[in-house]
Amino acid sequence: MRIHLIAAALACGISVLVGLPRQDWAILLLAIALVICAEMINTAIEQAVDLASPDIHPIAKTAKDVAAGAVLLAAIAAVVIGLILLGPPLWRLCFE
Ligand SMILES: Nc1ncnc2c1ncn2[C@@H]1O[C@H](COP(=O)(O)OP(=O)(O)OP(=O)(O)O)[C@@H](O)[C@H]1O
């Protein structure tokens, strides 16, 4: 969660720097919210699984792995969205 928040703060800082348009801000904030929501749901599932099944169990493993996979998918999507929105203006700012 700490890493996600640092990445989100970095993306917001760059967005301010490059003067990101309003619609792009909305997409960026949705992507950030998606990752944070996925991380919160993952934590909730981990805690619930540990409470319900403290011992090793294949179903507990599946539940935790699927929840962690959801976070990974959301994080990859957020990185791609960040690159699409911030890549070109950042490139112009640095090299043109
Ligand atoms: N009760 C269990 N039974 C079987 N496998 C488990 C169980 N608990 C955890 N595991 C396996 O061990 C891995 C690590 O479990 P852990 O609870 O540390 O989750 P994590 O994804 O590393 O959590 P965190 O987000 O805190 O880093 C899980 O992804 C799962 O594959």
DSSP structure class, residue 55: S
Domain that includes residue 75, residue range: 2-95
> Are 64 and 10 in contact, with CB atoms under 8 Å apart?
no
Q: How far is CA 9 from CA 29, 46, 56, 74, in A?
A: 11, 26, 37, 17
Q: Which of 57, 64, 72 to mutate to test the pocket of ligand 1 (most atoms within 8 A of CB)?
A: 64
What was the ipTM of the complex prediction?
0.86
- Domains in the chain, number: 1
Residues forming the active site: 39
In this prediction, residue 14 has a pLDDT band, given cuts at 50, 70 and 90, of very high
Global pTM reads: 0.88
Residue 94 — φ and ψ, nearest 5°? Answer: -85, -35
Assign residue 82 the CATH number of its domain. 1.10.287.3610
Percent residues over pLDDT 90 in the chain: 93
Token pair, residue 50, equals 């540990």
As a whole number, the mean pLDDT across the chain is 95
* CA 77 / ligand 1 centre spacing (Å): 23
Ligand 1 binding pocket includes 92 (Cβ within 6 Å): no
